[in-house]
């Protein structure tokens, strides 16, 4: 803007609009009724208004402070989002992924380890103090109910200074009730895992597929991988188990006989896994079922 010409303003506005194109498609912003007309013509309108343009150039004016605040906020916007993503990625993949249970208690325990370690390493990783407090203004306002016609309710209205403050707050609110993001083991994208539900795969269409989801594809791959890694004793046990199951289904043996035989087959498997039977003896024992 050093040239202070219409063409310079148009060129700068074009670059700024490329930023708005990204911002206005982000979560939260894409649902808000933003004044896009003003945003997409900010610099051009500013240059056309002599009084406002004079304020922007005066370091002592309120207009200059507002303009500089906008530029600084835009410059920090991307880095703030990247830091947030990095922090959540570390938390979910290093501390939450090994969890056997997926509920608020399990997440709280894992988060306590993350919190303690981040207090000491935040300055090294992020160049700042690790703080989990965010400025937020809360007010309570009357609103018309969206589904119950004519009914009014008291709504909590929260105002945040930045998108990252909002996203952090919502992330921890979800975590407190047992909901957390998880990276799909098939496509690598994040999906929301609700309390008590433990799956490694999302429900989106899997890469290279037209109908099957990651959950269906992943389950088949996991089963195939499991079969490939099974020991000879486990393979023989599976065969014996299937033979016994077919006899039970055909009413050739009773449920009591089925249970007793499966229990004996499991003992053979355990003995073989502990090295108490060689392969030949193991196969003979299983063939007897």
Q: What is the pLDDT of residues 167-182, one digit of tens each?
A: 999 999 999 999 999 9
Express each pLDDT in 101-159 by its tens digit. 889 999 999 999 888 887 777 656 555 667 778 889 999 999 999 888 889 999 999 99
Q: What is the 3-state secondary structure (H, E, C) of 54-68?
A: HHHCCCCCHHHHHHH
Residue 40 belongs to a domain: yes
Residue 1 belongs to a domain: no
CA dihedral 36, 42, 44, 48 (to 10 degrees): 120
137 with 171, same domain? Answer: yes
Q: How many domains does the chain have?
A: 3
Express each pLDDT in 248-261 by its tens digit. 888 888 878 877 78
107 with 202, same domain? Answer: yes
187 with 141, same domain? Answer: yes
131 with 198, same domain? Answer: yes
What's the domain range around 246? 230-287
Is the pLDDT score of 264 beyond 70?
Answer: yes
68 with 180, same domain? Answer: no
> Of 31, 65, 94, which marks where a domain is finished?
94
26 with 88, same domain? Answer: yes
235 with 219, same domain? Answer: no
Closest CA to 122 of 91, 77, 157, 166: 91
Give the integer Cα–Cα distance in Å for 71 and 167. Answer: 22
170 with 253, same domain? Answer: no
Encoded tokens for 179: 């909901």
- The strand ranges marked E within 145-257 are 152-160, 180-183, 190-193
Indicate left, alpha or beta for 156 from its phi (over 0: left) and psi (-120 to 50: alpha): beta
> Of 94, 117, 145, which marks where a domain is finished?
94
> Of 38, 62, 94, which marks where a domain is finished?
94
Encoded tokens for 21: 């194109």
Residue 190 belongs to a domain: yes
Residue 176 belongs to a domain: yes
Residue 38 belongs to a domain: yes
Who's near 234: CB < 8 A, 6+ residues apart?
Answer: 269
Is the pLDDT score of 2 beyond 60?
Answer: yes
């Amino acid at each position: 803007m050093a040239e202070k010409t219409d063409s310079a303003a148009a060129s700068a506005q074009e670059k700024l609009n490329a930023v708005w194109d990204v911002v206005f498609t982000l979560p939260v912003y894409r649902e808000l009724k933003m004044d896009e007309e003003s945003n997409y013509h900010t610099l051009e309108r500013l240059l056309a208004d002599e009084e406002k343009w004079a304020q922007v150039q005066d370091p002592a004016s309120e207009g200059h402070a507002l303009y500089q605040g906008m530029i600084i906020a835009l410059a920090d916007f991307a880095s703030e989002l990247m830091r947030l993503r990095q922090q959540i990625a570390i938390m979910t993949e290093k501390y939450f992924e090994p969890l056997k249970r997926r509920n608020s208690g399990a997440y709280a325990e894992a988060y306590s380890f993350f919190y303690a370690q981040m207090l000491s390493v935040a300055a090294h990783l992020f160049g700042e103090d690790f703080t989990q407090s965010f400025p937020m203004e809360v007010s309570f306002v009357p609103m018309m109910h969206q589904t119950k016609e004519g009914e009014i309710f008291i709504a909590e209205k929260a105002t945040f200074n930045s998108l990252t403050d909002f996203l952090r707050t919502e992330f921890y609110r979800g975590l407190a009730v047992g909901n957390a993001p998880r990276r799909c083991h098939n496509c690598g994208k994040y999906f929301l895992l609700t309390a008590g539900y433990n799956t490694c795969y999302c429900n989106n269409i899997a890469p290279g597929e037209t109908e099957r989801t990651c959950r269906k594809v992943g389950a088949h791959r996991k089963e195939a991988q499991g079969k490939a890694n099974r020991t000879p004793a486990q393979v023989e046990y599976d065969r014996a188990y299937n033979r016994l199951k077919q006899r039970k289904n055909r009413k050739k043996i009773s449920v009591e006989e089925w249970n007793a035989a499966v229990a004996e087959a499991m003992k053979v498997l355990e003995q073989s896994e502990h090295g108490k039977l060689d392969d030949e003896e193991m196969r003979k024992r299983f063939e007897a079922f």
